[in-house]
Amino acid sequence: MSKMKLIMALILLLTMCTGVASATWSSSMYITALPASGDGSSPPPPPATYVRTFGVDDNATDGFDRDYDVTAPPAPTVDALDTYFPCTHEVVTRLATDIKTDADTITWTVKVTVPSGSTVDMNWDVSNSPSDKTLVMNTGSASIDMKTQSSTTFATGSYSLAITSSKVVQDDTPTSSGGGSGGGGTSGEDYENIEIKDVVREQTIINEETSYNFNEESNAIETITFTALKNAGEISATIEVLKGRSALVKSDPPGKVYQNMNIWVGKSGFATSNNIADVKVGFKVEKSWIEENDIVVSTIRLCRHHDDVWNPLPTKKSGEDDKYIYFEAKTPGFSPFSITGSTEEEVVAQGSAVESMSTAVPEQIGAQSPNEGEDLVDDGEEEQDDEGASKVWFVVGALVVILIGGSVYWMCRTKNDEVAKERT
């Protein structure tokens, strides 16, 4: 029996160790100072190379851990290479190895000082880092994907680098290229209705603007930009320029249509307020179309179809040239869109001027497309929800008051009856 218990204990210990190992990894950076001159004169003071290691262990913390972290030497007193991980500790403030606890998003800060007359070559090996996480270095002037790039260079100066590891958000958007006929694919659009499909892929890096630029001449959409709230890796933006109204909608938008299109960014569930913010779409409209159709420029806007309703988006003019007028619109999500405008007659027929582009009521950010079951609640619906909630709480409060009052009345009456009985 004792042997069986020993075997079971060893199996349990092995399982625990295996579990811990799966969440433990580290990577090293090799930071070398070199003379800026090509002839090798005025080399930096030794030591000219430092190794700095960062990583993850479930048993570590974000502070100083004597069992995992390694302290860095004091700052040099002369003009020399210096690099370390800053640490908020009452004694230890500089680390050569910084191991943190595992999390969905982890950031290491690296300080680098390059001596005068020198440059620094930084190389790294991140092959031990998890495959399901991105690893991005932000230098302050550039963002580097450390899994696709293995080195960078710094000139004389001081730098504060941020290395961020984040879970990868998988992108299942079709990888069709622009400039040709598209297919129905996963968007649900009719094959015959797609004139072209334009696809661009870009890296999304936390707290930085992601910008997609579309160069297909027949595509009125020129740019899509947003601020990424997570490191999601490479995400694609797809525009289906349509020959007619999208097969995903049942009615035409108000006004005269310049172009219909479907716009998708990432997979279903990516384009939400948890992942992106400040979403803008830049588009162009030919001056010849405006003149031929007597369109009032101030009525041109991007409209988005959601929940069986066409919603005009806040749109402003951003520029013009000899051929086009350029606009920028803010959108809360991606789905079927239409660029529209109204004539003077249509404006007059409505009985008042068409709503100014800058005052169009936006939807709330949070939906990718209406045909994928992701609900979007606009501001009006939120107010109604708040008002309804207030009414419910009023009724509940009234019932509570009635119940308390009834209980007090019943107790008083019972007591009075008992007193009356005692007197008799």
pLDDT, tens digit only, all 424 positions of the chain: 455 555 555 555 554 544 444 579 999 999 998 887 655 555 555 556 899 999 999 899 988 999 999 999 999 999 989 999 999 888 999 999 999 999 888 999 999 999 988 889 999 999 888 888 889 998 888 888 898 899 999 999 999 999 998 877 655 444 433 333 333 345 688 889 999 999 999 988 888 999 999 999 999 999 999 999 988 888 899 999 999 999 999 999 999 999 999 999 988 778 888 899 999 999 999 999 999 999 999 999 999 999 899 999 999 999 999 999 999 999 999 999 999 999 988 877 765 444 444 344 444 444 454 333 333 333 333 444 444 545 556 665 666 666 666 666 666 666 666 655 555 5
Question: Which two tokens mark 86?
Answer: 């800053």
Question: Distance (Å, rounded) from C-alpha 208 to C-alpha 228?
Answer: 6
SS3 content of the chain, % helix, strand, coil (to 5): 20, 40, 40
Residues 315 and 300: beta-carbon distance below 8 Å: yes
d(CA 187, CA 336): 10
Predicted pLDDT at 392: 54
Q: How many of the other CB atoms lie within 10 Å of CB of 261?
A: 23
Tokens standing for 403? 């119940």
Pairing of strands 94-100, 49-56: parallel
pLDDT for the residue 174: 45
Q: Is 26 helix (H, G, I), strand (E, B) or coil?
A: strand
Task: Output the CA angle 101-270-26, nearest 5 degrees.
Answer: 25
In the 8-state DSSP scheme, what is residue 38?
A: T
Q: Phi and psi dihedrals of 46, rounded to 5?
A: -70, 155
Model pLDDT, residue 366: 47
Question: How far is the C-alpha of 197 from the C-alpha of 183, rounded, in Å?
Answer: 8
Task: Give strand ranges (E) for 75-193.
Answer: 82-86, 94-100, 105-114, 118-125, 133-138, 143-145, 151-154, 157-167
Please give the model's pTM, rounded to 2 decimal places.
0.51
Dihedral angle over CA of 69, 120, 32, 79, nearest 10:
-80
Question: Within a 10 A sphere around the Cβ of 160, how many other Cβ atoms?
Answer: 12
Q: How far is CA 98 from CA 18, 43, 45, 205, in A?
A: 22, 29, 25, 22
What's the length of the chain?
424
Cα distances from 326 to residues 211, 212, 334, in angstroms, run: 17, 16, 20
Element (DSSP H or E) covering residue 277: strand 276-286
Instruction: Report the C-alpha gap between 347 and 397 in whole angstroms.
Output: 49
* 286 Cα distance to chain centroid: 32
What pLDDT is stored for residue 45 in this prediction? 53
State the pLDDT at residue 157. 92
Closest CA to 51 of 131, 124, 100: 124
Q: 133 to each of 165, 216, 339, how far by Cα in Å? A: 6, 33, 38
Bridge partner residues of 123 (DSSP): 30, 151
Is 40 in a helix, a strand, or coil? coil
